[in-house]
Structure 1
C-alpha cells in the first residue's frame, strides 16, 4: 500500500510541476484557483504531500485538465525511446514496417511506423480504415491513390484517405520513410499492418 501511495505522489508531483509551468502559474495563483493552500501545493510538488481525491479533483478543475493527466505515469512530453532493433519487422510484398508507437489522444489514435520500401517492388492496398500520412526520408517513391499518381523525394509528404485504393513503388532503389496512420474515435484501428495483404503488380 505504501509503495502505491509513493508512486501516486511521484507521478502527481512531476505532472503538477509540469502543468503549472505550462500554464505559467505561480504557487499563489494556483492556490487561489484551486482553494488549496500554498504550503500543501509545495508539498505536493516536492512529492512529500499526501494527495486526496478532493485535492486531485480540485487541481484538475483549476488546471482544466483530466485527472488522468495528473496521475499518468508517462505524462505528455516525457521521453520515449524505441530502438529499431528491438521492434519486430512486419513485411509485405514491397515494404518492411516497424511499429514504433501508438498514440491515443482520446478523440484520435495515431500509429507511427518506420517504413522501408524495397527496390523495384510495388506495394498495393485495396484501402483500409483511417488517414495515411507518409514523409520520405531518402530515395524516390511513386504513390498512386485512386488513379492519381505522384512522385516523392526526400522531405516530401503525401496524405490521403486510406479507404481509397492506393499503391507505392520504389522504382529507383530502396526508399525509407515515416508512415503515420490516423484514426478517428469512431474508427477501429486494424490489428495488422494495412499493407500486409498485397495484390500482384497491375498488368498495365
Structure 2
C-alpha cells in the first residue's frame, strides 16, 4: 500500500495543480477536510475509495487518474500482488486493473467484499455505466432503487450516474467491475 499511497499523493498534487486549485478549494469542492487533502498529498495517510471518488469528481477526472500507474504494453497483476483502496464505510476494496487510455474512458477493477454495511457509491458523471461480473459469492448490485441479487458468473450492467450499491451477501465475494465514463 505504501507504493500506491505515494503514487496517489503525486497524482493528486499533479491533478490539483493542473486544475489551478488550492488545497483549500479542492477540499471545499470535494466536501473533505483541508487536512485530509494535505495528508494525502504528503502520502501521510491511506485514502479511502469514497475520498478518492469525491476528489476525482471535484477535479473532473475519473478515479483511475489518481490510482493508475503507467507501464509497459503488457501488464500482469497476480491476485496476491494486488494493492487496492479500501472503503471507510464497508468491508469493500477496489483494485484498479487497467485505466482507460486517453479518449477511451473505461476502467476495470476487481472488487472484494464481505457482508456488512452496503457499499454505496455516489453518482458518477452523466451517462456513466457500470458492468459487473460476480466471480465468487453472491451480491446485491445495481442502482440503489433496483439492486439485483447476483451469483458467481452473473453479469449486470446499470446506470452509474445515480446512487448505486454493492452489497456482499457471502464472505469473500469478488467481482470484476468495468466503469464506462462517456
TM-score range, shorter chain: 0.5 to 0.7
The equivalent of 2:136 in structure 1 is 138
TM-score between both structures, scaled by the size of structure 2 = 0.52
After the TM superposition, list the runs of 4 or more consecutive aligned residues in structure 1 that deviate by more than 3 angstroms. Answer: 84-87
Given that 1:120 and 1:173 are in contact with CA atoms closer than 8 Å, whether structure 2 keeps it comes out as no
Residue 97 (structure 1) aligned to one of 90, 94, 98: 94
Structure 2: gaps of 5 or more residues: 1-71
Asked if 1:82 is matched to 2:77, the reply is yes
CA distance in 2 between counterparts of 1:135 and 1:95 reads 16
Matched, 1:128 2:120: no
Unpaired runs of 5+ in structure 1? 1-72, 185-204
- Displacement of 1:144 in angstroms is 4.2
Computing the radius of gyration from Cα coordinates, the structure with the larger value is: 1
1:153 equivalenced with 2:151 (yes/no):
yes
How well do the aligned residues superpose, as a CA RMSD in angstroms?
A: 2.0
Q: How far apart, in 2, do the equivalents of 1:140 and 1:175 lie?
A: 6
Count of residue correspondences: 107
CA distance in 2, matches of 1:107, 1:156: 29
What is the CA-CA distance between 1:143 and the residue it aligns to?
Answer: 1.9
| Structure-1 separation of matches of 2:153 and 2:178 | 15
The structure-2 alpha-carbon separation of the partners of 1:101 and 1:124, relative to structure 1 and needing over 3 Å to count, comes to same
Distance 2:108 2:142 in 1: 21
